[in-house]
Structure 1
């Protein structure tokens, strides 16, 4: 049984690579999808498709529509969603993706540091599992196949 995992969260660090490498080392039958990790492409996709927009508002709006479309398609295909909340970057997209996973009734693992326990308390109680580290999330995924 191969499962598809949507990796929601900031796109500036290598946490996704860490999960993929650990899954491969554990020989877990997982495939991974997620948001566009090329930040400039994500920001400019609206203009790539629809041409130059008249203002930054419309540039952001068109890019958001296409990025949301991509997220919806990939998340609908996913069997599991992992949402990583870090301390360094704003977490609006991660919160939106975690909420979308809940709305779609997708099994959700939240990874968050202790410093975000309070701000994420409501979201954490809705998730299936909330952990502190990538390694803990990997143990949860491993348990699925035991």
Structure 2
């Protein structure tokens, strides 16, 4: 059995790559998906498809349409959503993706530092699992495959 895990959260560091490498080292049958990690591509995809937009707001809205389509399809195909909230960046996309996972009745693993416990308490109560590090999230995923 292979599962698909959607990795929601910040795109400004290497946490996804590191998690994928650790899962591969453990031999876990997990296929990972997630948002477009190429920030420039994500910001410009609307104009690439729809053509030049009249202003920055229209450009953002066109890109949002394409990114929302991509996210919706990939979230729908996922078995589990792992949403990481870090301390350094505002996590609007993480919150939206976590909310979508809940609305789609997808199992949710919430990764957040202890510092963000209060800010994310309601979201944490909706998640199946709340942990503080990506490594703990990977341990939770690994547990799915244990038989004894």
Structure-2 residue corresponding to 1:39 = 39
Which residues of 2 match residues 71-90 of structure 1 at below 5 A?
Answer: 71-90=71-90
CA-CA distance at 1:140 after TM superposition:
0.5
Tell me the alpha carbon deviations over residues 5-57 of structure 1, each in whole angstroms, 9 at most, x when there is no partner. Answer: 00000111000011101111111000000000011110110000011100111
Superposition TM-score, scaled by structure 2 size: 0.97
Residue matched to 2:28: 28
Unaligned runs of 5+ in 2: none
* CA-CA distance at 1:138 after TM superposition: 1.1
**Equivalent position of 1:67 in the other structure:** 67
Provide structure 1 residue ranges, at least 5 long, that are not aligned to the other structure. none
Mapping of residues 1-146 of structure 1, within 5 Å: 1-146=1-146
Moved over 3 A (4+): none
Pairwise CA RMSD: 0.6
Give TM-score scaled by structure 1 length: 0.99
Q: Deviations over 1:40-90 (max 9, x none)?
A: 110110000011100111000000000000000011110010000001111
